[in-house]
Amino acid sequence: MDNNYWHKRWQLNEIGFNQKQPNLLLQRYFQTLGLKLGSRVFVPLCGKSIDMLWLIQQGYEVIGVEMSSTACKAFFEENKISPKVSKLGDGLGYSNDKITLFVGDFFQLNTQLLGHVDAVYDRAALIALPMELRQRYAAHLTELLAPHATIFLITTSYNQNEMQGPPFSVNAHEVNALFSERFNIQLLYSKPYTEIPEHLRAKGLLQAVEEVYCLIKKSLNAGV
């Protein structure tokens, strides 16, 4: 799986992963992070997620990164927001005073371009990546964040024999393997889906567990 796979999905509008309403688990649990108004929330592999609009409405500043310019343009068009388009690093940025979307490769993003981040919202980034990329993703995300930054992570775990991702199955064991060395991890929610989403049922998925985690980056100076 490479960048062309996702470009093709957007070009063909094969985006069953895109929700029409803000994620219910986001609405229910994000406030447990205790962020101040104006905090900067980073959304990796953001697509045109309506969740970003919800975060803006809660008083946060949103920074997203997405390789598809189609998705970035669609976010602003569909939400009737007029962006400023500018050169950012090796790519383009679409922005107004509350949100900036970088068009480019997440793995090319650096702290100079991203700036300070208070929290990360990951609903569809980690589970979108095959196993060989998830460790690289976790390592790069860790390097982008200062100590005490928080990751709000939503995952799905299921029998991978029922369905081939994406979304891929990511269970609690893998979350701990990827992040426990540099983050304190708290499980906020873990329950089976009451109803499997239609686009996943079509791929053969019969049952799955959805989980929500709060990860807080440890301070190396504190000896942890």
* Res 139: pLDDT: 98
Cα separation values, 39 from 61, 117, 189, Å: 6, 8, 24
Q: Using alpha carbons, list the distances in angstroms from residue 139 to 143, 168, 182.
A: 6, 18, 10
Mean pLDDT by 10 residues, the chain (224 residues): 50 53 95 97 95 97 93 92 87 92 94 96 95 96 97 96 90 98 98 90 92 95 52
Rounded Cα–Cα distance for residues 184 and 211 (Å) = 16
> Cβ–Cβ contacts within 10 Å for residue 111, how many?
12
CA atoms within 13 Å, Cβ hemisphere of 58: 21
pLDDT of residue 3: 54
Angle between helices 131-144 and 172-179 (to 10 degrees): 50
pLDDT of residue 4: 57
**Strand segments (E) across the chain:** 40-44, 61-66, 84-88, 91-95, 99-103, 119-122, 150-157, 183-192, 209-217
Query: Is the distance from CB of 92 to CB of 84 less than 8 angstroms?
Result: no
The answer to whether residues 18 and 48 touch, using CB atoms and an 8 Å cutoff, is yes
Q: How far is CA 14 from CA 5, 6, 50, 165, 209, in A?
A: 11, 9, 17, 14, 24
- CB distance 52 to 22 below 8 Å: no
What is the residue whose two structure tokens read 């053969």? 204
Q: Is the pTM of this model over 0.85?
A: yes
Predicted pLDDT of residue 18: 52
SS3 63: strand
Closest to 202 in 3D by CA, of 14, 4, 10? 14
Q: Domains plus CATH for the chain? A: 3-13+28-222 (3.40.50.150)
CA quadruple 65, 113, 105, 127: dihedral positive or negative? negative
pLDDT of residue 10: 44
Q: Quote the pLDDT of residue 16.
A: 47
Residue 169: the pLDDT is 96
